[in-house]
């Protein structure tokens, strides 16, 4: 395992951070997942060198923190740093913030949280957090030793990121970033701005939630033609870790094999190690993905809810899956949800509300009709 600098904090953390959002299996214990399996995955990662664990109040129906707390018994807590988050929807004043933090400490079975994040904010949510005094609350909790670092995770346009990151004395930021998202959300500009400010960056969705682990055939052909053979996961993580601003790359693993694979990969990655040929390969891979992508929907859900009841990001995800991977829309998980909830593109009222809200400025109305037609849903 490689360990990397956390910007101005003067500490180091493991290059691979375990995300605790994607555990699965049959419900057991106090959680909605297979608790013993999750505990064993968490301990396997720590025994392999992982020192950074990421969870949140809302993950896994509010049970992710519970299972992480159990996994960190028996001396594991002392070996790691924990990141968890405060969700905007659950707090309206200082008393509720205090109660929520205390509940998280209890579930995590610890007396302090290392990285405490305002969860998934943009400019509007940050203004809300300030209006209820969250900025002061975080400072007070840091002084009281209940949290070590004041942080935020971000989902929104770059303009929001530029504003939020410079509007407060943040210790760390977590962004969505991967070789496809260079111009999306905070993007490369945001990563570089954080670097200039000395604020360490933690990465989420480095594999786009797993989508970059499975290369479509035109992408696989590029990887196969390169003289050095690496898996799609290895290329994606290698590209991320090439950026010196990045402290830790989170990945949510559901299987021991994925943990072991990531432990192997993160033992080989360093900042600034990619050759010009490797960087050119990743540019070509990005272009190959884009050529097969029907629409650049990032599933940010700014357009939701739709007054007509259309699951807009779901329709676009199924359309992209059909084009990228040849997934039969009738077998696509998104489309199965859409059909179960009668949330298809045929319910669009052409009111235009979604197009005004979309940060990607997508032509949603026409694209929904094209998607529905190409996926054979009019038949
Ligand atoms: N703050 C926020 O707003 C926010 C938002 C999203 C995520 N997060 C956090 O960030 C963490 C990381 O994001 P993420 O889970 O989306 O990360 P990710 O690395 O983009 O996706 C994780 C998925 O990638 C696949 N995967 C991982 N390692 C693999 C390997 N070696 N080989 C093949 N497939 C592999 C698995 O997919 P399969 O399950 O399909 O096999 C896994 O579920 C989350 O767990 C969560 O803790 C935070
Ligand atoms: S234009 Fe159609 S898809 Fe967009 S918000 Fe209105 S009804 Fe929903
Ligand atoms: S259509 Fe636009 S607003 Fe809606 S989820 Fe996709 S990117 Fe976000």
Tell me if 363 CB under 6 Å of ligand 2: no
User: Predicted confidence band at 155 (pLDDT cuts at 50, 70, 90)?
Assistant: confident
Q: Determine, yes or no, domain membership for 292.
A: no
Range of the domain at 212: 3-285
Instruction: Indicate whether 297 pLDDT > 90.
Output: no
Closest CA to 94 of 157, 136, 152: 136
- Angstrom CA distances, 195 to 132, 171, 336, stand at 29, 12, 42
pLDDT in tens, 113-146: 999 999 999 999 999 999 999 999 999 999 999 9
Block residue for tokens 């400025």: 361
pLDDT in tens, 175-217: 999 998 898 889 999 999 999 999 999 999 999 888 899 899 9
Quick one: pLDDT at residue 17? 98
Q: Determine, yes or no, domain membership for 367.
A: yes
Q: Determine, yes or no, domain membership for 302.
A: no
Quick one: pLDDT at residue 379? 66
Q: Determine, yes or no, domain membership for 259.
A: yes
Q: Determine, yes or no, domain membership for 305.
A: no
> Could you tell me if 345 and 256 lie in one domain?
no
Block residue for tokens 């555990």: 23
User: Predicted confidence band at 248 (pLDDT cuts at 50, 70, 90)?
Assistant: very high
Residue 276 exposure: Cα atoms within 13 Å on the Cβ side = 0
* CA–CA–CA angle 26, 29, 32 (5° rounding): 45
> Could you tell me if 201 and 78 lie in one domain?
yes
> Could you tell me if 276 and 326 lie in one domain?
no
Looking at residue 232, which CATH number applies to its domain?
3.20.20.100
> Could you tell me if 77 and 201 lie in one domain?
yes
pLDDT in tens, 53-76: 999 999 998 999 999 999 999 999
Quick one: pLDDT at residue 220? 96
Residue 80 exposure: Cα atoms within 13 Å on the Cβ side = 30
Instruction: Indicate whether 359 pLDDT > 80.
Output: no
> Could you tell me if 229 and 366 lie in one domain?
no
Are the C-beta atoms of 157 and 185 separated by less than 8 Å? yes
> Could you tell me if 275 and 338 lie in one domain?
no
365 CA to middle of ligand 3, Å? 12
Quick one: pLDDT at residue 286? 95
> Could you tell me if 41 and 105 lie in one domain?
yes
Among 22, 116, 261, 299, residue to substitute to test ligand 1 (most atoms within 8 Å of Cβ)? 22
Instruction: Indicate whether 299 pLDDT > 80.
Output: no
* Domain final position from 220, 250, 285: 285
Tell me if 68 CB under 6 Å of ligand 1: no
> Could you tell me if 366 and 273 lie in one domain?
no
316 CA to middle of ligand 3, Å? 9
Among 354, 357, 360, 361, residue to substitute to test ligand 2 (most atoms within 8 Å of Cβ)? 354
Burial profile 188-212: b = 16 or more Cβ within 10 angstroms, e = fewer? eebbebbbeeebbbbbbbbbbbebb
304 CA to middle of ligand 2, Å? 9
Q: Determine, yes or no, domain membership for 299.
A: no
Residue, of 81 and 22, whose pLDDT is higher:
81
Which of the residue ranges 183-197, 278-292, 322-336 would you say has the lowest mean pLDDT? 322-336
Angle between helices 64-71 and 35-47 (to 10 degrees): 50
Are the C-beta atoms of 352 and 365 separated by less than 8 Å? yes
How does the average pLDDT of the chain come out, rounded?
95
Q: Determine, yes or no, domain membership for 306.
A: no
> Could you tell me if 232 and 353 lie in one domain?
no
> Could you tell me if 347 and 230 lie in one domain?
no
Among all bound ligands, the one having the nearest atom to the CA of 302 is 3
User: Predicted confidence band at 346 (pLDDT cuts at 50, 70, 90)?
Assistant: very high
Tell me if 119 CB under 6 Å of ligand 1: yes
90 CA to middle of ligand 2, Å? 28
Q: Determine, yes or no, domain membership for 290.
A: no
Closest CA to 125 of 79, 87, 162: 87
Average pLDDT over residues 41-50: 98
- Classify residue 170 by its DSSP letter: -
> Could you tell me if 239 and 340 lie in one domain?
no
pLDDT in tens, 87-113: 999 999 999 999 999 999 999 999 999
The count of residues in the chain is 379
Quick one: pLDDT at residue 298? 74
Tell me if 232 CB under 6 Å of ligand 1: no
Per the structure, how many domains does the chain have? 2
> Could you tell me if 369 and 240 lie in one domain?
no
Q: Tell how far CA 69 is from the center of its chain.
A: 21
Tell me if 364 CB under 6 Å of ligand 1: no
**Which region holds residue 157: left if phi is over 0, alpha if psi is between -120 and 50, else beta?**
beta
């Amino acid at each position: 395992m490689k360990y990397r600098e956390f910007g101005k904090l003067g500490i180091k953390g493991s290059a691979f951070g375990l995300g605790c959002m994607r555990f699965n299996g049959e419900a057991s214990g106090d959680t909605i997942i297979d608790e013993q399996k999750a505990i064993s995955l968490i301990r396997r990662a720590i025994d392999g060198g992982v020192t950074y664990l990421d969870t949140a109040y809302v993950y896994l129906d509010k049970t992710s923190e519970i299972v992480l707390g159990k996994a960190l018994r028996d001396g594991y807590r002392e070996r790691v740093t924990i990141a968890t988050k405060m969700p905007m929807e659950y707090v309206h004043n200082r008393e509720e913030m205090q109660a929520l933090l205390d509940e998280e400490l209890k579930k995590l079975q610890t007396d302090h949280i290392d990285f405490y994040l305002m969860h998934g904010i943009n400019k509007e949510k940050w203004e809300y957090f300030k209006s209820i005094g969250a900025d002061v609350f975080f400072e007070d909790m840091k002084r009281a030793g209940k949290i070590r670092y004041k942080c935020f995770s971000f989902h929104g346009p770059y303009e929001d990121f530029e504003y939020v990151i410079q509007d407060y004395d943040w210790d760390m930021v977590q962004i969505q970033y991967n070789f496809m998202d260079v111009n999306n959300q905070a993007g490369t500009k945001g990563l570089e701005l954080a670097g200039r400010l000395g604020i360490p960056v933690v990465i989420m969705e480095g594999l786009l939630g797993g989508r970059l682990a499975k290369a479509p055939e035109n992408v696989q052909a590029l990887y196969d033609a390169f003289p050095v053979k690496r898996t799609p996961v290895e290329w994606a993580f290698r590209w991320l870790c090439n950026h010196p601003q990045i402290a830790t790359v989170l990945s949510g693993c559901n299987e021991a094999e994925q943990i072991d694979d990531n432990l192997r990969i993160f033992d080989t990655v360093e900042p600034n190690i990619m050759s010009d040929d490797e960087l050119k390969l990743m540019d070509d891979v990005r272009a190959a993905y884009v050529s097969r992508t029907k629409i650049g929907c990032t599933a940010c859900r700014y357009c939701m809810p739709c007054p007509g009841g259309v699951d807009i990001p779901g329709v676009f995800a199924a359309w992209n899956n059909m084009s990228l991977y040849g997934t039969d829309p009738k077998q696509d998980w998104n489309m199965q949800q859409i059909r179960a909830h009668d949330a298809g593109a045929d319910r669009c009222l052409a009111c235009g509300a979604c197009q005004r809200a979309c940060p990607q400025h997508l032509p949603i109305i026409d694209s929904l009709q094209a998607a529905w037609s190409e996926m054979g849903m009019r038949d």
